[in-house]
């Protein structure tokens, strides 16, 4: 699978997780963590040669 497809898939997952954020800290914590992890993965893949 091409790196661009992997990144696009991760970005789709980020948008999905963002759709669950409601503004309640306790509820949102797990989704915000997922977003942070996914964004980090995208960053690492973009920097990978």
**Residue 49 confidence (pLDDT):** 76
Q: What is the pLDDT of residues 3-35, one digit of tens each?
A: 999 999 999 999 999 999 999 999 999 999 999
pTM of model > 0.75:
yes
Residue 16: per-residue pLDDT: 98
CA–CA dist 37, 40 (Å, integer)? 5
Q: Structure tokens of 33?
A: 């963590």
Query: Which residues lie below 8 Å from residue 38, measured CB to CB, with a gap of 6+?
Result: 10, 11, 13, 14, 17
* DSSP state letters, 19-46: TT--S-HHHHHHHHHHHHHHHHHHHHHH
CB 28 within 8 A of CB 22: yes
The more confidently predicted of residues 48 and 33 is 33
């Amino acid at each position: 699978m091409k790196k661009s497809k992997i990144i696009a898939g991760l970005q789709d997952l980020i948008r999905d997780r963002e759709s669950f954020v409601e503004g309640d800290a306790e509820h949102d914590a797990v989704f915000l963590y997922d977003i942070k992890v996914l964004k980090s993965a995208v960053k690492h893949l973009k920097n990978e040669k």
